[in-house]
């Protein structure tokens, strides 16, 4: 069965595999202090048009979030997140295990705003409560929605007025940047937050994320915290080589565009069959809602992810495309979808 389960089912882009094979017998310095990591940092800084940021390579998203948040927060400080936020739902309490409470806010589209955050700040007003210190957002969100440049500007201005750090989980950042309506580019991001990461695992890399520290207050002694959290990879060049390739000839952005284009082709098929959505996603994650028997039929023939039960008669499934999704598989699914919709819709 073809899988639309996630965007990390496949290995790595051929350019990365060739590069890793080419340097396989080269000797490198360890712990991310090698020429490949240095070159990757230079390429990323050039893409950001900002040479003052610090860049650290970490193997995965959860470890990146844990390492950064445990570094940024004092023991009595907490992080604010949407209730759908990855740190609140799919990281096994990693942040809480580091001693920091996650203050989750219900929101239907996965996006935080100043109006949603303000009541949390008002409630936590003295030393008898944990102190909110950092706002965590995902771009795109876990529901596939995106923040526009204007929305991020407003949110960051609010955070600065209230002495809050703003941190962006960019596991699927390339997919958000592929949505033209956001009016966002890579070079905008250092001006819109205190820290963020560029996700490689879900966009063509075998593994690896690039954490970007923008705020100078967050840079000092960060590698000490990385080491203590197990986030410094001995063979760090294995990540550096991958980001060298991802930031060669705009490959990173092109892979994100391809993921999104294939998802939006699926979306056209759902719309043609009058299938409703949990939310309107312009990225590579879609959340169509089916009658239960229709969903069962789909899962007998394709691999998807169960999202939720909007009611007892309907099932919401997540469809996710990647840089390597097969175009013919997308067309085959749409053909099947149209046939099944006559029976189950």
pLDDT, tens digit, 9 for 90 and up, residues 318-337:
999 999 999 999 999 999 99
For residue 11, give the DSSP letter. Answer: -
What are 121-170's pLDDT values in tens digits?
999 989 999 999 999 999 999 999 999 999 999 999 999 999 999 999 99
Residue 284 has which token pair? 């590579």
- Please list the residues that pair with 210 across neighbouring strands: 57, 198
Mean pLDDT, to the nearest integer, of 224-234?
98
Q: Could you give all domains of the chain from N- to C-terminal order, each with its CATH number?
A: 2-7+251-344 (3.90.1150.10), 14-246 (3.40.640.10)
pLDDT score of 345 more than 70: no
**pLDDT (0 to 100) of residue 189:** 98
**Rounded distance between C-alpha atoms, residue 175 and residue 172, angstroms:** 6
The per-residue pLDDT for range 286-307, each reduced to its tens digit, is: 999 999 999 999 999 999 999 9
pLDDT score of 342 more than 90: no
d(CA 284, CA 140): 9
Could you give the CA distance from residue 42 to residue 78 in angstroms, rounded to a whole number? 33
- Which region holds residue 266: left if phi is over 0, alpha if psi is between -120 and 50, else beta? alpha
């Amino acid at each position: 069965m073809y899988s639309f389960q996630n965007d990390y089912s496949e290995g790595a882009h051929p350019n990365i595999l060739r590069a890793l094979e080419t340097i396989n017998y080269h000797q490198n310095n360890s712990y991310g202090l090698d020429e490949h990591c240095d070159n990757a940092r230079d390429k990323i800084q050039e893409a950001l048009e900002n040479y003052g940021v610090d860049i650290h390579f970490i193997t995965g998203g959860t470890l990146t979030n844990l390492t950064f948040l445990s570094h940024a927060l004092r023991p009595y400080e907490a992080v604010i997140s949407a209730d759908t936020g990855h740190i609140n739902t799919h990281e096994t309490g990693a942040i809480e295990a580091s001693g920091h409470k996650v203050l989750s806010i219900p929101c239907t589209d996965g996006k935080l705003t100043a109006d949603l955050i303000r009541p949390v700040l008002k409630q936590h007003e003295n030393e008898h409560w944990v102190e909110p210190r950092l706002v965590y957002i995902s771009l795109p969100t876990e529901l596939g929605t995106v923040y526009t440049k204007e929305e991020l500007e407003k949110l960051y201005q609010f955070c600065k007025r209230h002495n809050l750090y703003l941190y962006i989980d960019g596991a699927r950042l390339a997919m958000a940047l592929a949505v033209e309506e956001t009016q966002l580019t890579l070079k905008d991001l250092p001006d819109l937050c205190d820290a963020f990461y560029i996700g490689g695992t879900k966009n063509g890399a075998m593994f690896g994320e690039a954490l970007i520290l923008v705020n100078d207050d967050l840079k000092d002694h960060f590698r000490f915290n990385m080491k203590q959290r197990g986030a410094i990879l001995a063979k760090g060049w294995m990540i550096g080589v991958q980001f060298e390739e991802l930031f060669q000839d705009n490959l990173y952005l092109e892979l994100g565009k391809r993921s999104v284009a294939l998802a939006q082709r699926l979306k056209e098929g759902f719309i043609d069959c009058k299938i409703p959505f949990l939310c309107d996603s312009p990225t590579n994650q879609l959340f169509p809602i089916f009658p239960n028997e229709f969903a069962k039929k789909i899962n007998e023939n394709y691999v998807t992810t169960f999202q939720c039960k909007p009611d007892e008669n309907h099932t919401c499934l997540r469809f996710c495309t990647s840089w390597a999704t097969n175009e013919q598989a997308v067309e085959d699914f749409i053909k099947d979808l149209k046939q099944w919709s006559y029976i189950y819709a």
